[in-house]
Structure 1
């Protein structure tokens, strides 16, 4: 059975999204931060609100990736019935693009 993560750990994870891809994590983190500073991605609070509205459950992880010239958040959610889903959210407008079983 999965146990909830500590509140501080969740906040630290959600406040510092990382960009998946080759290279060091420091570089990836900088790319994500710069994308937010340039207004290319919405604030994480909006991304999480859109995710929760579309797929109720516990958010346990997220990544920010560049796909076909667009920023896309991939958010892991454990649904209320125990399924693990990956929810894709457009980083620019917080629109939920879809989800799949993970």
Structure 2
């Protein structure tokens, strides 16, 4: 009986550790990005996409907001009308396009 309780206790502990290990970091990154936008430290995604679309025509496939050592960078993946995939780096604070790969 004692061995059964010990086994069940260890199983519960392992399950709690596994459930809590992954999402905590993801939620933390998302929360920090959301807080940066809400505080005005980073431009909202809509403003970034407007700047990108003024310069490049196509369909936005994916976006990410990355903290690069204290500097927020949006990565925008865009499919142009002629079928090229562009990866566009945009400064999150100023909205300035920093680099374009696949151009």
Map of 2:52 onto structure 1: 51
Report the structure number with the largest CA radius of gyration.
Answer: 2
The residue that corresponds to 1:95 in the other structure is 96
Show the counterpart of 1:84: 85
- TM-aligned CA deviation for residue 68 of structure 1: 4.0
Alignment gaps of 5+ in structure 2: 1-23
* Structure 1 residue runs of 4 or more that deviate by more than 3 Å after TM superposition: none
Contact 1:86 1:100 in 2 (8 A): yes
Cα deviation per residue 1:53-80 (whole Å; 9 max; x = unaligned)?
1211100101111124210100000011
TM-score computed with the length of structure 1 as normaliser = 0.71
* Structure 1 unaligned regions, length at least 5: 1-22
Higher helix share: 2
Mapped partners of 1:37, 1:91: distance in 2 = 13
Aligned residues, how many? 80
Cα distance per residue 1:14-46 (max 9 Å; x no partner): xxxxxxxxx632221101101112211012111
- Partners of 1:25 and 1:59 lie apart in 2 by 23
Q: Is the 8 A contact 1:54 1:96 kept in 2?
A: no
Normalised by the size of structure 2, how large is the TM-score? 0.70
